[in-house]
Amino acid sequence: MSKTKPLFYVFKVLDNQDPLMLGRVRAESTVHDNTAAIGSITNPPYNEEKDKWTSRDPFLFNPLLPYFLYQVPKKDELIYVFYYNSDYKYQNQFYVQGSFSNPTTSPGEYIEGMKTELGLGGQYKNPLELKCLDNNGSYVDPPNFGVFPEPGDNAIMGRGSADLIVKEDEVLLRAGKTIGNINPNQIPAANNTRAYLQLSKFDSIKILDEVKTFVQNNEVVVSVKYLIEWVITNPENNENKFAGSVYLYKLKPDLKTNSAELKVDSNVDEFKSLIHERNFVLLSKNDTIKFINNFINECNNDWSTFSVSRQRNLFQEQPFPIFYRPSNKMYEFMTSKTNTTITPIIQKNVNQIYNGIKLNNTTLINGWGLIYTQDKVGTPTTTKNIQLPIYKYNNTPLTFASVGANKICFLSHNSTIPGKGKINFDGTLYGITNDVYSDEIVPKTSSSVRGEELLELLNYIVRFMVTHTHAFPGLPPVPVTQDGSNVTTLLSLLQNAPNKVLNEHIRLN
């Protein structure tokens, strides 16, 4: 039984600087003695200095891919070697780039790491996964989806942040797709401000159908200045004769005393200081409710003159917002289910008084409330009109082309801006460097013009010219024209034109 021969062999790249620029490399076997390769060259014997990169070089490999798909590995990387006839090694030998252990190692990986996915690399640590299975067995995209090509798409990959992605109906040419460099076994950060060219074909057109307007109410959080609390000292009586007090406290500003946090049952004892107290005795339940409500209304209506014994003003400033409620003890009488000292009559009396407390008959909530401004109880809000565009799709195929970058330059070899000089493109055949952009292109190009914004400025100038008048011949025009245009607005538009009409980041010569 004959021994099965390998289909390909694993070699390590020694040199990739092909003097013929054909993508050839010099490489040596990782498992066999390379002296046999040298010994196979006779008449005359192999001379490393003279025969390197020639047809006598046993370490020379041609790319298996055609020249028009140029892909040359780096020194010390792994390649797969194929022979036209494996019985006659060291001639008619070809290679393809070896596998990387992970897309994040594509900038360059030593051969030992590239063996990870082979039987030769079983002892190496598993690399970082860029797609993972969730608990349902479905693949989950990495945090920065889009950096690497998706299965089903075709791509030509650079070793860094550049690539060419060909999808079913779209082509992406990108550079700077990541923030910083791609580092081994680190999920790269996606760069939304990458430079790109995108060509897309869509099956339908998204067009505006109508715009609906909604009113949105947003809660305004304010710091509550004052707190009104009432207490019944004999809630257990059955004779409808109640005694108690109404207290007015000044609140210290704190997170717990703002309108979003302060509630009917909040404990804010550490933030309140008593500034006024009114007592009552032998009042019926209805009169007790009326007494408490009158106190609340006096704070609401007569705050500028409200005083203790009418000798000094109680409020030195507008008091709102004011929060009114029962004391924490009174609220416990109504809600506690564990305090055995609270009898049904206590609960009944306090609840009936509580349900009668309100600023006025239009107040929707009984027992407590926030007076955020005079006569207004509830949650302070601001209203904002929200315009919601409604779109529909027209089933007409449409193509788009877009280019984006931090700076975009449209350059012509035949154009020169008078006074700025001609751009020197010498030495830029293999790419324009950062220095050439800074020293040649930016100084010798001009900002592009935003069309609609330019028309807006020109329209205002024409309106001013057509409708302006002069008080007397020889005097400057009257500042305000017949259609309402004015000199101040015109000068402001001209002053803002460099930023509004011009775009310095899209340049042309």
Instruction: Tell me, yes or no, whether 289 and 363 share the same domain.
Output: yes
Instruction: Tell me, yes or no, whether 234 and 369 share the same domain.
Output: yes
Q: 272 — phi, psi (to 5°)?
A: -115, 145
The verdict on residue 391 lying in a domain is no
- pLDDT value, residue 3: 62
Angle among Cα 212, 214, 216 to the nearest 5 degrees reads 155
Instruction: Tell me, yes or no, whether 345 and 235 share the same domain.
Output: yes
Express each pLDDT in 448-476 by its tens digit: 999 999 999 999 999 999 998 888 888 88
The verdict on residue 232 lying in a domain is yes
Among residues 155, 172, 205, which one ends one of the domains? Answer: 205
Instruction: Tell me, yes or no, whether 232 and 301 share the same domain.
Output: yes
Task: Scan for tokens 């055609």, then name that residue.
Answer: 66
What range does the domain containing 185 cover?
133-205
Query: Any idea which of 39-43, 84-88, 319-323, 352-356 has the lowest mean pLDDT?
Result: 84-88
Instruction: Tell me, yes or no, whether 63 and 190 share the same domain.
Output: no
The verdict on residue 397 lying in a domain is no
Instruction: Tell me, yes or no, whether 40 and 78 share the same domain.
Output: yes
Cα 331 from Cα 64, distance rounded (Å)? 86
| Strand ranges inside 167-220, DSSP E | 170-175, 178-179, 189-190, 195-202, 205-219
| Sheet of strand 322-326: strand arrangement | 272-283, 242-251, 226-232, 322-326, 369-373, 376-377
Structure tokens belonging to residue 508: 């042309």
pLDDT for 137 beyond 80: no
**pLDDT tier for residue 119 given thresholds of 50, 70 and 90:** low
Query: Any idea which of 86-95, 142-151, 180-189, 496-505 has the lowest mean pLDDT?
Result: 86-95
Among residues 55, 74, 98, which one ends one of the domains? Answer: 98
Instruction: Tell me, yes or no, whether 372 and 243 share the same domain.
Output: yes
The verdict on residue 426 lying in a domain is yes
Angle among Cα 77, 82, 88 to the nearest 5 degrees reads 125
The verdict on residue 108 lying in a domain is no
Task: Answer for the pair 406, 505: CB distance below 8 angstroms, yes or no.
Answer: yes
The verdict on residue 1 lying in a domain is no
Say what percent of the chain tops pLDDT 90: 59
The verdict on residue 485 lying in a domain is yes
The verdict on residue 479 lying in a domain is yes
- pLDDT value, residue 401: 95
Among residues 98, 123, 145, which one ends one of the domains? Answer: 98
What average pLDDT does the segment 408-433 reach?
Answer: 93
Enumerate the H helices of 79-214 as residue ranges.
Answer: 111-114
Instruction: Tell me, yes or no, whether 272 and 353 share the same domain.
Output: yes
Cα 92 from Cα 79, distance rounded (Å)? 16
**pLDDT tier for residue 139 given thresholds of 50, 70 and 90:** confident
Express each pLDDT in 71-115 by its tens digit: 999 999 999 999 887 777 777 899 999 988 888 888 988 888 888
- Name the more confident of 144 and 353: 353
Q: What's the mean pLDDT when you consider all of the chain?
A: 88
Instruction: Tell me, yes or no, whether 365 and 446 share the same domain.
Output: no
- Name the more confident of 5 and 361: 361
Instruction: Tell me, yes or no, whether 361 and 430 share the same domain.
Output: no
pLDDT for 311 beyond 90: no
**pLDDT tier for residue 34 given thresholds of 50, 70 and 90:** confident
Burial of residue 296 (CB within 10 Å: 0-12, 13-18, 19+) is buried
Measured CA distances, 345 to 14, 233, 342, 385 (Å)? 98, 14, 8, 50
Cα 150 from Cα 191, distance rounded (Å)? 17
Query: Any idea which of 126-135, 221-230, 260-269, 386-395 has the lowest mean pLDDT?
Result: 126-135
Cα 393 from Cα 252, distance rounded (Å)? 57
Instruction: Tell me, yes or no, whether 239 and 374 share the same domain.
Output: yes
- pLDDT value, residue 312: 45
pTM, two decimal places: 0.64
Domain count, the chain: 4
Instruction: Tell me, yes or no, whether 198 and 268 share the same domain.
Output: no
